[in-house]
Structure 1
Amino acid sequence: MKFTNGFWLNREGYDIHHPKSVRDVKVSDNDVTLYAPCKEIEHRGDTLNIPLITIRLSSPEKDTIRVQAYHHKGTSGRKPDFQVEDLSPDVEILNNDKEVVMKSGQLRVKILKEQFEMRFYDGDKELTHSNQKGLAWIKGPQNESYMRSQLNLGVGENLYGLGERFTPFIKNGQVVDTWNKDGGTSSEQSYKNVPFYMSNKGYGVFVNHPENVSFEIGSEAVSKSQFSVRGEELDYYIVNGSSPKQVLSNYTNLTGKPELPPAWSFGLWLTTSFTTDYDEETVTHFVDGMAERDIPLSVFHFDCFWMKEFEWSNFEWDRDSFPDPEGMLRRLKEKGLKICVWINPYISQKSKLFDEAVKHGYLIKRSNGDVWQWDMWQAGMGIVDFTNPDACSWFSGKLKSLLDMGVDSFKTDFGERIPTDVVYFDESDPERMHNYYAYTYNQVVFNLLKEQRGTNEAVLFARSSTAGGQKFPVHWGGDCDATYDSMAESLRGGLSLTMSGFGYWSHDIGGFENTATADLFKRWTAFGLMSSHSRLHGRASYRVPWHYDEESVEVTRHFARLKNRLMPYLYNASIENHSSGVPVMRPMILEFPEDYSCHVLDRQYMLGDSILVAPIFNEQGLASYYLPKGRWTHLLSGKVVSGGKWKEEQYDYMSLPLYVREGSILALGSISDFPDYEYEKNIRFYAYEFMNGKKSKATVSNKNGEVAGSLSFQKTDNKIRVKSDMNGNDYSLVLYNIGSVSSVSSGNWRITEEGVEIEPNPSDNEFQIVL
């Protein structure tokens, strides 16, 4: 929101009050409170009839400083609040005549007293600052109040994140309102608004407000990042870290680490699509068609019309289309499939559950006690009130019946269009609940799955979210169009989301709206199956590959099988995400912050820490991508190229830029038919471009997330020392571009088209390769 009229003037009707100086300071062991009047104080009379800003500084975790600023503190206490951890680490506080300094880890904030100013440092390096006019209480033309902060944007500084945003990846110059909306992928609106951004200078800012936060990113004041909220208080965190990955790790320490999804969820999902006609015969035809064409399929998803029209949600199968749902699910599961069904938190008036929900007070109400209803989406629909514990239990009970029937997962659709002219059971503030509703909705469903299916077996396919929602994976990108433009904007949204603390992201392969050409479908399939999660889904047409052309079948089979073989590597990246918060699918800047060319890249990404993926976005099959410095090996062809420059090449549909960085040990499984197998059995390690002195290690976990083995390398001159901890499991390894081998001290070796292949003795924990 803009409050000024150019650099010199305020907008008409807005009075902006800034702290002029620090008049008093109160220090305790772990926090410090400052009192800053919005007027120069020359004598006692100046202390009358003026606003005073109260500022509290604290540290919830090492390398993080929280800033709470109040105009009128007595108006605080509105709920809900984001669930934010507070570990209260040791801090250092200095208070003298000129300044107040608080230090937490390497992060330090300095507040100048005489002319109010806040400066944030990583050690001695300044990260950002808020000058005397940066922090403000603002009175609007209708006597409404706002709190605002401005943080300096340095020369060359870029900001990223703020949730799943389909606008340009770098947020500079944008106005962003964090208000969840159902706006598709082709607008500035977002299904997943997260008031957290990251800077390429090595810090993040989390604005701790569930309601709408208005960001002006170098837009109102071109050298400032500005955020404001309506009300009398402002609460934000500066999050530091030794690297962008560490910043994300520290941020997710605050708001929660993603749970570990089940291994089966990484396989290919196929849906009935949205408005298509289908019954068990149709579903079986699709499932059998995938098997007949040797395309591995892991999950079948039933979209909206598994329930009868006008009755969403009643959580009952439409018996006209599915007369024997129990038997159908059993028959599908006998084919090795997991089952997902579409749900939402809306109860239509025709649903048999509506009167039951009204009777017990389970729906959101208007201020006069009436149930809030409208006709958008479902006729006469009401919305489940998840602030009511009994409503949560009631909703979970309906879903449990489906789990008992054989359903394994839920697509938690919608949750964005949540009204504010309502009253909640627990008296939550409707403005703060608008975005937070998505958190409560997904939390209820995810917790049920975790309770019923067990740890590491719960997974959603969620559309709406906000800060903290990363704890309930996975999320997909909503309604995209069947165009290359929409494919690119979808990727921008996913990269922005993963820069906001989310570990996993998916999208509708081929686009949701309209029907892709065969060309677009094949390119999007390669992209989709090289994403963390992969789903074939659309609106009005079936998304089975043979409906496009026969080559689409080959492309889908090829990349689905490749992804399944990559599962030991991908699942280990998933385990890392669960412990560190570093996403599986990550922007280039997150992996290569020292390479300034990577700061702007939004058409390629890293899948884990070793594999670079650059989807193709045109009918010509022309790939334009950037490889950071070093030696890179194409995963499919084995071609080795030098990085530090842009590449432009033609690719057929069976390939795309898919490169492994030097020094990597990539663990590939022995099974391509499905994603959840014993990764530690008969695994093959691929070692890429080892330089002298280079150490590297690959860890293998089983599908329950437990470490099952590891292999580490170190190259010195003409020798490679290998340490194995594979617990007696058979394995092999392939050395790329290693030169000639003269001897291997364990097992057998031979030269193949891929490189030097070695089959060590499983009992040998250490051996040597002489080049």
Structure 2
Amino acid sequence: MIPNLPLLRLIALASTLCLSVLAVAGESRSYLAHQQSKDSLTIQLNDGEVSLTPVGPSALSLHYRSEGIKQLPSFAIDDKPESSLKAQLRDGEDKLIYQTGSLTAIIHKSPFRIEYLRGSEQILSEERGFFATETMRGFRFALSPEEKLLGGGERVMGMDRRGQRLPLYNRAHYGYTTESNQMYFSLPAVLSSNKYILLFDNSATGTLDLGANEEDILQFEAVAGRTAYIVVAGETYPQLLENYVSTTGKQPLPPRWALGNFASRFGYHSEAEVRATVDKFAEEDFPLDALVLDLYWFGPDIKGHMGNLAWDKEAFPEPEKMMADLKERGINTILVTEPFVLSTSERWQEAVANNALAKNLTGEPKRFDFYFGNTGLIDVFSEDGGDWFWNIYDGLLEQGVAGWWGDLGEPEVHPSDTVHAIGMADEIHNAFGHAWAQLLHERQTAKYPERRPFIMMRAGFAGSQRYGMIPWTGDVAREWGGLQPQVELALSMGLLGFGYTHSDLGGFAGGEKFDRELYIRWLQYGVFQPVYRPHAQEHIASEPVFHDRRTRDILREYVKLRYRLLPYNYTLAFENSQTGMPLMRPLFFENESDLSLLDYKDAYLWGQDFLVAPVVEEDVDEVAVKLPGGTWFDYWTDEQYSGDQAQVEVDLKTIPVLVRAGAIIPTIDDVHNSRDYSSKNLTLDYYAHPSAAKSERYVYEDDGATAQAFEKGKYEKLQFSAENKQQGLAFAFKREGDGYTGMPESRKVNLNIHNWQQVPVQLDISGESLPIFDSEKDFAQASRGAWYNKRKQQLLVKFDWHKEPLNLMLKNQ
């Protein structure tokens, strides 16, 4: 109860009897009184109350409450808000003005309505605002005429979802291709071209109507759940996203091996098959960091064993030794787990005895049938369910498991009459995967605080990224139509915090015979997506090492390129952990004035400096790629492109990969896996161009394994800059951080300057001259110096870089 408002509280409680009438008949909601506390503003209304709470930089949570409407806790808001969050209140005769950061809420008293400004610009306004009837609750907002709306989670319907009606119920869509309005991971949130994010903090079954029934109205509807929403504002799209993840939580930096190559299929049936597969990768000279075991690790058949969650010792007689042997080779073991315990499984009675399962309406374990058998569902919202489930995970971690794959966690089957510790199935369905990931992340980090969890799941809720969730796009069809929507899916999820969304490379479902071109194109694209994990039904091998020589030879170079780019990719992962910037970025982040780019999904930015356009149609020898402005170089040929579009020629060995003018791309030498990562030999490719007079880049490094290495100071940043000056081209190199175990004391740097037109007359490094060689042979034999490759128009420079800052100057004629 709010102190000093007893009479107003009585008025508010009495008025709730008219709640449904207000909603249906359209009577006006009106202001009665308000009170500001240190943390929030609470307003008494004639039909309840609403609180406004700063929850992040330029972010407000609005929570409407009326008597008789059950509320659930927030799943979306990070429980570690910034301590400095404050808001200012001004009270006027007809309105309240409540401001936090650049976001201002204008609260009109009668009729009651809230509008939102970024600075002085209106970006969003409630139309009716909160409504509730006996069977529905939700919110209504006004849309501006030209406004575009992106987000809503995984959907295949184009980037701009305005005009669509989106179901909010996580549901499997097996074998999808180019259309899907309901998939594994829905999100009750949109990003607007007006530079706000609107998130409904409600996990219940519902619908997000983005101007489908009424073209100028955004309406959220739910059958139950928390009656709250969050508004986030930003001056730019990247700032908006950073403000959003500051509210809902930032993705922890994963272990470096998560960026390596995975062996995965449905599935490996035995220890012998696992060992043979790993040997094949080594024999074919393919780097490998992880092996994923699907459901055969706990049973010999697809059906009847789910819930065993213990090794099938006939197929895997020595699992601990197997995993230890893999680890010795630098390969991490990932196990699939599901939240279902079949009544035929070996753990059914144990789960019942430990009160681990969700209940039916009579208080008994809820049982139902689905594809895998008669089952119960672990209640991840209950303390007993969490304790029982975690004890199994903990035992497997002690055996040597390195990561988790949580499957079927929508949950795939979830009867409405299932009773969980905090509510019915339809109230919390969309938060089930979220709570599951939270359970794993919090329990594992509590017991093993130095380890970074790896948690891959296909369903969750807004904010699940703060628990390290790595989503994938589900059981996509193994055909060209399955490849085509993958960029759209990844970009849409990345806009709302899920920067590691990726696909089963090569496609998962179906496919009568091996399509070499499709497979190659999908795995080429995979080099520039967050997780490199080919995965499929086993009648066609998902692993490149089991295909023909031409396929192997092409893809070997791409997998090795993935590893050479580890300095770049790991830095992207670090940036994501700090700011929420996704690894795959839409082109409109680059050119915010071109609204047409909000719809563009055929190409994307991989970090700051790569522009990638996957080849998604067969028999293609040229691809049209939109450019966001500036000059770009073909990564394979150094050909230059500028303007609004590039026509890029391709063959089976190449896809369009462009590099920004001024970029400094770091790479390392080839390695067997990420365990061997070292930047002791570091190559920097600088793309010189008059339009990029000055460039600044960095590489982030740590030991690849220690949790919160950056926060602990156990890292190093390698910082580079390049500047075109009147007297020539100047480079500067410096280091930051306390360092980490295994850090090179010095580095041999190979600097390749692309698009260079002449041999410098002088080359100085920190005041000392470097030799400039006339022949490639002499240059190759020297430990330091430079050589100009006239045919490629590249100047190659090599030198040693120790701990101290270093300056390099190329003087022209």
Whether these two folds match at TM > 0.5 is yes
TM-superposed CA distance for 1:561, in Å, is 0.4
Q: Which residue of 2 aligns with 1:162?
A: 152
TM-superposed CA distance for 1:650, in Å, is 3.6
TM-superposed CA distance for 1:369, in Å, is 1.9
Post-superposition Cα deviations, 1:249-307, rounded to whole Å, max 9, x if no partner, equal: 11111111111111111111112424xx7333333332222222211121111111122
Provide the C-alpha distance between the structure 1 equivalents of 2:38 and 2:337, rounded to a whole number of angstroms.
49
Post-superposition Cα deviations, 1:436-458, rounded to whole Å, max 9, x if no partner, equal: 11112122233454456654532
Distance 1:664 1:97, change over 3 A: same
Q: Which residue of 2 aligns with 1:640?
A: 640
Post-superposition Cα deviations, 1:311-354, rounded to whole Å, max 9, x if no partner, equal: 21212222332333333333333333111121111111122111
CA contact (8 A) 2:307 2:346 kept: no
Amino acid across the alignment from 2:529: S
Q: 1:757 aligns with which of 796, 806, 812?
A: 796
Provide the C-alpha distance between the structure 1 equivalents of 2:418 and 2:169, rounded to a whole number of angstroms.
17
Provide the C-alpha distance between the structure 2 equivalents of 1:648 and 1:30, rounded to a whole number of angstroms.
54
Distance 1:530 1:82, change over 3 A: closer
Amino acid across the alignment from 1:318: D
Provide the C-alpha distance between the structure 2 equivalents of 1:120 and 1:711, rounded to a whole number of angstroms.
41
Pick which of 517-526 and 381-390 moved more. Answer: 381-390
Distance 1:508 1:770, change over 3 A: same
TM-superposed CA distance for 1:604, in Å, is 1.6
Does residue 182 (structure 1) correspond to residue 191 (structure 2)? The answer is no
Does residue 745 (structure 1) correspond to residue 733 (structure 2)? The answer is no
Provide the C-alpha distance between the structure 2 equivalents of 1:145 and 1:391, rounded to a whole number of angstroms.
30
Provide the C-alpha distance between the structure 2 equivalents of 1:224 and 1:652, rounded to a whole number of angstroms.
47
Amino acid across the alignment from 1:211: A
TM-superposed CA distance for 1:717, in Å, is 3.4
Provide the C-alpha distance between the structure 1 equivalents of 2:329 and 2:757, rounded to a whole number of angstroms.
46
Amino acid across the alignment from 1:633: F
Q: Which residue of 2 aligns with 1:534?
A: 532
Q: 1:226 aligns with which of 219, 222, 225?
A: 219
How do 1:197-276 residues align onto structure 2 when only pairs under 5 Å count? 197-230=190-223, 234-274=227-267
Pick which of 683-692 and 412-421 moved more. Answer: 683-692
Provide the C-alpha distance between the structure 1 equivalents of 2:34 and 2:230, rounded to a whole number of angstroms.
20
Provide the C-alpha distance between the structure 2 equivalents of 1:22 and 1:390, rounded to a whole number of angstroms.
44
Provide the C-alpha distance between the structure 1 equivalents of 2:618 and 2:225, rounded to a whole number of angstroms.
53
Q: Which residue of 2 aligns with 1:709?
A: 718
CA contact (8 A) 1:420 1:434 kept: no
CA contact (8 A) 1:340 1:409 kept: yes
Q: Which residue of 1 aligns with 2:290?
A: 299
TM-superposed CA distance for 1:412, in Å, is 0.9
Pick which of 230-239 and 195-204 moved more. Answer: 230-239
TM-superposed CA distance for 1:213, in Å, is 4.0
CA contact (8 A) 2:165 2:207 kept: yes
TM-superposed CA distance for 1:626, in Å, is 1.0
CA contact (8 A) 2:58 2:100 kept: yes
Q: Which residue of 2 aligns with 1:171?
A: 161
Provide the C-alpha distance between the structure 1 equivalents of 2:27 and 2:755, rounded to a whole number of angstroms.
63
Amino acid across the alignment from 2:266: S
Provide the C-alpha distance between the structure 1 equivalents of 2:363 and 2:39, rounded to a whole number of angstroms.
45
Provide the C-alpha distance between the structure 2 equivalents of 1:180 and 1:94, rounded to a whole number of angstroms.
42
Distance 1:81 1:457, change over 3 A: closer
CA contact (8 A) 2:59 2:247 kept: no
Amino acid across the alignment from 1:122: R
Provide the C-alpha distance between the structure 2 equivalents of 1:761 and 1:311, rounded to a whole number of angstroms.
58
Structure 2 residues not aligned, in runs of 5+: 1-20, 710-714, 736-744, 771-784
Q: Which residue of 1 aligns with 2:506?
A: 510
Provide the C-alpha distance between the structure 2 equivalents of 1:504 and 1:283, rounded to a whole number of angstroms.
26
CA contact (8 A) 1:517 1:548 kept: no
Amino acid across the alignment from 1:750: W
Distance 1:760 1:151, change over 3 A: farther
CA contact (8 A) 2:609 2:663 kept: yes
Provide the C-alpha distance between the structure 2 equivalents of 1:590 and 1:378, rounded to a whole number of angstroms.
44
Distance 1:90 1:336, change over 3 A: closer
How do 1:99-498 residues align onto structure 2 when only pairs under 5 Å count? 99-131=95-127, 134-139=128-133, 143-155=134-146, 157-184=147-174, 185-186=176-177, 187-230=180-223, 234-274=227-267, 278-308=269-299, 309=301, 310-417=304-411, 418-424=414-420, 426-450=421-445, 454-455=449-450, 457-471=452-466, 472-498=468-494
CA contact (8 A) 1:159 1:172 kept: yes
Amino acid across the alignment from 1:169: M
Q: 2:519 aligns with which of 507, 513, 521?
A: 521
Q: Which residue of 2 aligns with 1:574?
A: 573
Task: Find the residue that maps to 1:522 and give its secondary structure.
Answer: helix
Task: Find the residue that maps to 2:368 and give its secondary structure.
Answer: coil
CA contact (8 A) 1:130 1:152 kept: no
Post-superposition Cα deviations, 1:476-506, rounded to whole Å, max 9, x if no partner, equal: 1110001111112233222111111112122
Distance 1:315 1:25, change over 3 A: closer
Q: Which residue of 1 aligns with 2:594?
A: 595
Provide the C-alpha distance between the structure 2 equivalents of 1:699 and 1:540, rounded to a whole number of angstroms.
39
Q: Which residue of 2 aligns with 1:620?
A: 619
Task: Find the residue that maps to 1:534 and give its secondary structure.
Answer: coil
Q: How high is the TM-score relative to the length of structure 2?
A: 0.85
Structure 1 residues not aligned, in runs of 5+: 1-11, 38-51
Provide the C-alpha distance between the structure 1 equivalents of 2:595 and 2:678, rounded to a whole number of angstroms.
37
TM-superposed CA distance for 1:567, in Å, is 0.5
Provide the C-alpha distance between the structure 1 equivalents of 2:358 and 2:226, rounded to a whole number of angstroms.
27
TM-superposed CA distance for 1:556, in Å, is 1.9
Distance 1:190 1:543, change over 3 A: same
Distance 1:150 1:53, change over 3 A: farther
Post-superposition Cα deviations, 1:595-646, rounded to whole Å, max 9, x if no partner, equal: 334211112221111111110011112423212211111222222221x322
Amino acid across the alignment from 2:201: N
CA contact (8 A) 1:624 1:646 kept: yes
Q: Which residue of 1 aligns with 2:699?
A: 699
The total of aligned residue pairs comes to 735
TM-superposed CA distance for 1:731, in Å, is 1.5
Give me the identity figure in percent: 22
Does residue 735 (structure 1) correspond to residue 757 (structure 2)? The answer is no
Task: Find the residue that maps to 2:469 and give its secondary structure.
Answer: coil
Provide the C-alpha distance between the structure 1 equivalents of 2:34 and 2:319, rounded to a whole number of angstroms.
68
Task: Find the residue that maps to 2:471 and give its secondary structure.
Answer: coil
Task: Find the residue that maps to 1:461 and give its secondary structure.
Answer: strand
CA contact (8 A) 1:480 1:490 kept: no
Measured on the aligned residues, the alpha-carbon RMSD in Å equals 2.6
Amino acid across the alignment from 1:767: L
Provide the C-alpha distance between the structure 2 equivalents of 1:287 and 1:460, rounded to a whole number of angstroms.
22
Provide the C-alpha distance between the structure 2 equivalents of 1:623 and 1:370, rounded to a whole number of angstroms.
59
Distance 1:159 1:742, change over 3 A: farther
Amino acid across the alignment from 1:710: Q
Distance 1:518 1:329, change over 3 A: same
CA contact (8 A) 1:64 1:237 kept: yes
Task: Find the residue that maps to 1:497 and give its secondary structure.
Answer: helix
Task: Find the residue that maps to 1:419 and give its secondary structure.
Answer: coil
CA contact (8 A) 1:720 1:770 kept: yes
